[in-house]
Amino acid sequence: MSLLRGPNGCPWDRKQTFQSLKPYLLEEAYEVLDSIDAEDWNALSEELGDLILQPIFLAQMASEDGFFSIADSLRALNDKLVRRHPHVFGDAKADTPDEVKQRWELIKKEEKRQQGREQTQLLDGISRSQPALAEAQQIGSKVAGVGFDWPDVESILAKLDEELNELQQARRKASHEEIEQELGDLLFVITNLARRLNVDSEQALRGANRKFRKRFAHVERRLAEQGIQAATLGQMEAMWQEAKQNP
């Protein structure tokens, strides 16, 4: 990467900035997820390499500007893993994943306090740039940790009905702004329902997307001779039901 960024290197690599690389970092991360979902281990091996390239690229640029090197990043990671696993590298005790998670958060909070980066608001540590479903579920989990939560799943289902009714009211008023707000509220409640059912909402939706792709591909194959554009809704629905019978 040092050669690629050097005077006689690649024009494209030399042109990149921290901002220009951000979309590639996200793209490669999602391609890793796709490989895991498909259980394609050869693809995963390749995609992990592509993903690893991104922090190497970013660290190289940081090194050129005198900020830090990739060695600094790896050293910090090693130190953090040791520091946050005192039950492995020290004398602390943690027998369950929940105990480990609680200890991790306490240690993380203390680290930020010592660095002068202590969070003044409970939700400050949740990234706003991540997918909205993931952000919503993390928000719900964080506030639930201080007791701000529905008492049970049934209460969340009741809230879901309430939000559906409010969405219907917004539709009757034909207010696009209100419809958007109510849809947002509905999605937020759904992510909290997922959290209480121990389901990752982002992964659940990815699974639904994958299932839809597979079933619609079956519809297209079955209607290939006449063409999907010429098919009626009834024909497509029949093929869809056929796809559901052959998962």
Contacts of 14 (CB under 8 A, 6+ apart): 4, 5, 6
Size (the chain), residues: 247
Q: Which fold has domain 1-83?
A: Helix Hairpins (1.10.287)
pLDDT for the residue 120: 73
Q: Can you give the pTM of this predicted structure? A: 0.70
Say how far residue 74 (Cα) sits from the centre of its chain: 23
Q: What DSSP designation does 128 have? A: S
pLDDT means over runs of 10, the chain (247 residues): 96 96 93 93 97 97 97 96 94 90 86 79 86 92 91 96 96 93 96 95 91 94 91 94 87
Given the structure tokens 């520091």, which residue do they identify? 83
pLDDT for the residue 173: 92
CA proximity to 52, closest of 74, 34, 67, 81: 74
Six-digit token string for 4: 């690629």
pLDDT for the residue 113: 82
pLDDT for the residue 121: 84
Structural Rg of the chain based on CA atoms: 24
Query: Taking the C-alpha atoms of 222, 225, 230 and 233 in order, what is their torsion angle to the nearest 10 degrees?
Result: -20
